[in-house]
Structure 1
């Protein structure tokens, strides 16, 4: 019986000791200042730093707006959006163009002619936009499809002429004249353009030859007569220069260069 009571007594005494200690320390716990705890101080310091950082960002945002960078940013976004839209449109047009060319090619010979017509129109548009590199590629592609395309060679020669690439213009126009003669598609401008190219290459006898060819087709063209007279003087062909001057005086009597040409012919005789 006694052995059963002893453990109970020990438990009661222990609980009493614990309660005694708690009641003695309770006033000290109630006086504890939470603000002095290290963890609390650290947490408050972090919050203070975050608040300062947020305030700085807000201040920077105000300066950002005031400096106009916001407008600049959105302007760039708008430009990029337009550029992307344009690229998408170009890709769609390119795909449609490929399908169109494929469809026309499948139609056989008639389809090929239609393809060339489409490509010539595109090349002409590029040329008028002064996109000469792209226009050149387009004309060369046409020549691959149709090696005797007078229109393609004429357009290609015009591209080179606008770029003042006289050597390539010369070769292109000379080949054009050979094909055009066979196809009976020579234009007076073909001779006149080649005469201009020869002049820029300092090949005056050849320039005279081609401008005379142009005059055979348009004998009363004042521009061609004027060119012929200049070429005759450059080649020292005085008799032909006199004849050209007479024709020019008859066709264009108000030409301000008539007196000058007359003086140059006289000086050529004296020399």
Structure 2
């Protein structure tokens, strides 16, 4: 066992060692290992080796690029030329396809026009069944052919086949909802069916799309007379007169409505216009007599 004296000696020695270490620690920290000549030489040598290697790589790469550059340029040129040929071939093919498609479309339209003309001629000759077949043939070639549907609808109207006529014109409305003829035809169908209010709506829509169709004015005025609304009929016929002030048929109708309304002034004015437009009209004397009786 250690005696107290020995322990004291050991503690004193440790204290001296710690004191000396504490005194020397700042000096140890200030030592820079890189400042060693040996280490500096090794660092410089490594830098020289790295620089030499980089220089050789650059020189070798430059020489290799000088050697390969013409080949790359030639390859790039060939690739660009090949790509341009592909573009030209594609453009030429597209042009031929479009040209062929356009020719086919024109030929089909011409064929359809001929078929429709044949159907119209057959309709005029009252060969309705043959005309219907022609219209259907045209629609087989072009299921959205508006003229074929119009002709077919007219054909059904002539045969008083109002159900098929209505179906045809209503389908035509899907293809072209801005065609005044469609609404005019639906108005005629409504009149024949006795649905005068629907006829009124259809005729008004037709005039909204085309305000110069005199036949629609006349039909609408007749609808108003049938609805016992002569004032509206008078307004409609007056509008028609502004479109065609010398049309005997319109003036004739205007005189009739004016007489119904007991409007002697309007009737006399219309009579003068009718006499100027058609002095040989056989109704002039009768109209004059009826007006004077108002």
TM range (shorter): 0.5 to 0.7
How far 1:136 sits from its partner (Å)? 0.7
**What is the distance in 2 between the residues matched to 1:161 and 1:208?**
19
* Structure 1 residue 119 corresponds to structure 2 residue 159: no
Report how many residues are paired.
Answer: 164
Match of 2:166 among 136, 157, 179: 136
**What is the distance in 2 between the residues matched to 1:99 and 1:225?**
41
Q: Which residue of 1 aligns with 2:243?
A: 217
Change (3 A) 1:246 1:97: closer
Q: Which residue of 1 aligns with 2:203?
A: 173
* Structure 1 residue 145 corresponds to structure 2 residue 171: no
- Given that residues 189 and 214 in structure 1 are in contact (C-alpha distance below 8 angstroms), is that contact kept between their aligned partners in structure 2? no
Per-residue CA distance 1:205-251 (angstroms, 9 max, x = gap)? 11111112222222222221111111112222221111111222233
Change (3 A) 1:237 1:122: same
- Given that residues 215 and 221 in structure 1 are in contact (C-alpha distance below 8 angstroms), is that contact kept between their aligned partners in structure 2? yes
**What is the distance in 2 between the residues matched to 1:257 and 1:145?**
45
**What is the distance in 2 between the residues matched to 1:119 and 1:195?**
28
Q: Aligned-residue CA RMSD in angstroms?
A: 3.0
Unaligned runs of 5+ in 1: 1-92, 106-111
How far 1:97 sits from its partner (Å)? 5.3
- Given that residues 180 and 205 in structure 2 are in contact (C-alpha distance below 8 angstroms), is that contact kept between their aligned partners in structure 1? no
Per-residue CA distance 1:157-182 (angstroms, 9 max, x = gap)? 2223344542221111012112335x
**What is the distance in 1 between the residues matched to 2:288 and 2:182?**
42
* Structure 1 residue 231 corresponds to structure 2 residue 261: no
Change (3 A) 1:97 1:223: closer
* Structure 1 residue 262 corresponds to structure 2 residue 288: yes
- Given that residues 275 and 284 in structure 2 are in contact (C-alpha distance below 8 angstroms), is that contact kept between their aligned partners in structure 1? yes
**What is the distance in 2 between the residues matched to 1:225 and 1:162?**
25
How far 1:265 sits from its partner (Å)? 2.6
- Given that residues 195 and 207 in structure 1 are in contact (C-alpha distance below 8 angstroms), is that contact kept between their aligned partners in structure 2? yes
Rg (Cα) greater in structure:
2
**What is the distance in 1 between the residues matched to 2:291 and 2:151?**
47
TM-score normalised according to structure 2 size: 0.49
**What is the distance in 1 between the residues matched to 2:180 and 2:283?**
36
